[in-house]
């Protein structure tokens, strides 16, 4: 039986959804059973052996629903393999690891998650309507090869894919 993996995400403008979909495709291609769901569509965590959770970063914070999810499911997540990522930086800083907000860092420690992965984001023109200072940064910096490589690391550490 292959491991059942939940890939879930919090997004405002869709960039993080795209990253989660790419992670899901890679894990599926590695032979895992994968559900990719926006956080609001996750009914239960119990059926899953492993969870990959990502949030967009806004003003240095994760989206509130992602923090709430970690808090609500903290005890259960302690007994699951968990990987966390956040999506944010664009342009020249797109490959800089972003600081992990303290509330997220605390929860990540409690569930013994490995270091949180930063992925470059996609800043769309619609997102900066009220932030003209960010306008010059609008670009899709998402690094698909890096996303695939990280997904392969996850797949390689889940038992069901060991023989693939």
Ligand X SMILES: Cc1cc2nc3c(=O)[nH]c(=O)nc-3n(C[C@H](O)[C@H](O)[C@H](O)COP(=O)(O)O)c2cc1C
Is residue 8 a contact residue for ligand X (CB under 6 A)? no
Coil vs helix vs strand at 141: coil
Q: Which of 2, 33, 98, 139 binds ligand X (CB under 6 A)?
A: 98
- Please give the DSSP secondary-structure letter assigned to residue 129: T
As a whole number of angstroms, the distance between CA 148 and CA 45 comes to 24
Is residue 147 a contact residue for ligand X (CB under 6 A)? no
Is residue 12 a contact residue for ligand X (CB under 6 A)? yes
Select 27 or 127, whichever has its Cβ closest to ligand X.
Answer: 127
Tokens of 127: 């997102």
Q: What are the strands, taking DSSP E only, across the chain?
A: 4-10, 33-38, 50-58, 61-62, 81-87, 117-119, 122-123, 139-140
As a whole number of angstroms, the distance between CA 143 and CA 62 comes to 20
Tokens of 83: 């990987």
Is residue 21 a contact residue for ligand X (CB under 6 A)? no
Q: Which of 24, 100, 121, 151 binds ligand X (CB under 6 A)?
A: 121
Tokens of 26: 């890679």
Is residue 71 a contact residue for ligand X (CB under 6 A)? no
Q: Which of 5, 70, 85, 89 binds ligand X (CB under 6 A)?
A: 89
CB of residue 42 to ligand X, shortest distance in Å = 16
Per-residue mark of binding to ligand X, 36-65 (x: CB under 6 A):
--------------------xxxxx-----
Q: Which of 29, 110, 128, 160 binds ligand X (CB under 6 A)?
A: 128
């Amino acid at each position: 039986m292959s491991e059942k993996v939940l890939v879930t995400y919090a997004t405002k403008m869709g960039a993080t959804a795209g990253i989660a979909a790419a992670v899901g495709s890679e894990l599926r291609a590695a032979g895992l059973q994968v559900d990719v769901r926006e956080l609001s569509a996750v009914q239960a965590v119990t059926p899953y052996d492993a969870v990959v959770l990502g949030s967009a970063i806004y003003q240095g914070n994760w989206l509130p629903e992602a923090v709430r999810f970690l808090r609500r499911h903290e005890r259960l997540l302690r007994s699951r393999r968990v990987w966390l990522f956040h999506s944010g930086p664009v342009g020249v800083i797109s490959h800089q690891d972003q600081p992990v907000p303290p509330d997220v860092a605390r929860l990540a420690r409690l569930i013994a998650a490995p270091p949180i992965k930063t992925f470059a984001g996609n800043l769309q023109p619609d997102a900066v309507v009220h932030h003209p200072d960010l306008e010059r940064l609008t670009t899709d910096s998402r690094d698909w090869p890096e996303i695939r490589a990280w997904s392969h690391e996850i797949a390689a550490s889940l038992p069901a894919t060991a023989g693939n």
